[in-house]
Chains A and B, each alone.
Chain A
Amino acid sequence: AQKVTQAQTEISVVEKEDVTLDCVYETRDTTYYLFWYKQPPSGELVFLIRRNSFDEQNEISGRYSWNFQKSTSSFNFTITASQVVDSAVYFCALSDPRGETSGSRLTFGEGTQLTVNP
């Protein structure tokens, strides 16, 4: 069964600290996509990154970086030099197995509430 676990319910840091959000997933498929979304208080889910299961190369985008490790089924997200505007709920998500559905169905983790204090 598909499952995404974000063990950290809440994280509180002081501005400029680095913070890592953990994500562990379960899937029986070999072809899948992983995602991170940000949900600010306004409620809209903002897409941050997608990673293909065949591409384990880590990625850096500005202050954001992602570490994908198939061996441990983890897809962790690091924010460097956090800012108050980074305060939001962050969700990790996994696509449905190809072949069963169209693949649009996403399984989300429980979310991690990140609070960055000035």
Chain B
Amino acid sequence: KAGVTQTPRYLIKTRGQQVTLSCSPISGHRSVSWYQQTPGQGLQFLFEYFSETQRNKGNFPGRFSGRQFSNSRSEMNVSTLELGDSALYLCASSLRSGLRSYPSYNEQFFGPGTRLTVL
């Protein structure tokens, strides 16, 4: 079974531009979460999508947005890029939203990430 794939793997943009990152979850998984990883802030939750609906949102400005398609693939968009947006963006997929099947839990499987550099 193929894992989570993210495209592109590397991206270089300049300030003010916008960028779209893509994530294809494991087949059958319907929940996709996005995380930003930077040396200063560590791993921070951006948002989660399940069944094409945003279920959770982290504490990020409105420049960060996302969506999910009917095939569960997800995209995130960052508009008006800033230098501080340089980061590794990780996508994770799971069968369902985490605690809805309590007491069992649907593990999140992470992709290899997209390394975004803003110049």
Tell me how far the C-beta of A73 lies from the nearest C-beta in chain B, rounded to whole angstroms: 19
Do residues A44 and B110 form an inter-chain contact, with CB atoms below 8 A? yes
Write out the residue numbers on chain B whose beta carbons fall within 8 Å of the beta carbon of A44: 90, 110-113
- A12 lies within 8 A of chain B by Cβ: no
A44-B111, A102-B56 are contacts. A95–B98 as well, Cβ < 8 Å?
A: yes
Identify the closest chain B residue to A102 (Cβ): B97
In the complex the two chains form, what is the Cα distance from A105 to B88 in whole Å? 18
Interface residues of A in 2-54 (CB under 8 A from B): 31, 33, 37, 42-47, 50, 52, 54
**Bound Cα distance A101, B98 (Å):** 9
**Are the C-beta atoms of A102 and B100 separated by less than 8 Å?**
yes
Q: Which residues of A contact B45 (CB under 8 A)?
A: 105-107
Instruction: Collect the chain A residues with CB atoms within 8 Å of residue B50's CB.
Output: 102, 104
Chain B window 23-50, contacts with chain A (Cβ cutoff 8 Å), 1 for yes, 0 for no: 0000000010101000000111100101
- Interface size for A (C-beta < 8 A) is 27
Contact (Cβ within 8 A) B31 A104: yes
Which stretch from B61-69, B75-83, B101-109 is at the chain A interface? B101-109
In the complex, which residue of chain A has the Cβ closest to the Cβ of B109?
A: A47
State the CA gap A105–B44 with chains docked (Å).
9
Contact A95 B99 (CB under 8 A): yes
B interface bracket (residues with beta carbon within 8 Å of A): 20 to 34
CB <8 Å contact, A101 and B55: yes
B43 to chain A, nearest CB (A): 4
Provide the residues of chain B in CB contact with A102, threshold 8 Å.
31, 48, 50, 55-56, 97-100
A contact residues around B109 at 8 Å (CB): 47
Q: A29 CA to B97 CA in the complex, in Å? A: 18
Selected contact of B88 from candidates A43, A95, A104, A111, CB within 8 Å: A43
B88/A50 in contact, CB under 8 A: no
Q: How far is the CA of A52 from the CA of B45 in the complex (A)?
A: 21
Q: Do residues B90 and A104 form an inter-chain contact, with CB atoms below 8 A?
A: no
Contact, CB under 8 Å: A103 / B88: no
Which residue from chain B places its CB closest to the CB of A111 in the assembled complex?
B42
Tell me if B105 and A52 are in contact (CB < 8 A).
yes
Report if A105-B48 is in contact (Cβ < 8 Å); known contacts: A33-B105, A52-B103, A52-B105: yes
Minimum CB distance partner of A95 in chain B: B98
Given contacts A95-B98, A108-B44, 19 further A-B contacts (CB under 8 A): A31-B99, A43-B113, A47-B107, A47-B109, A52-B103, A52-B105, A91-B43, A96-B98, A98-B99, A102-B100, A104-B97, A104-B98, A104-B99, A105-B48, A106-B35, A106-B45, A106-B108, A107-B45, A111-B43
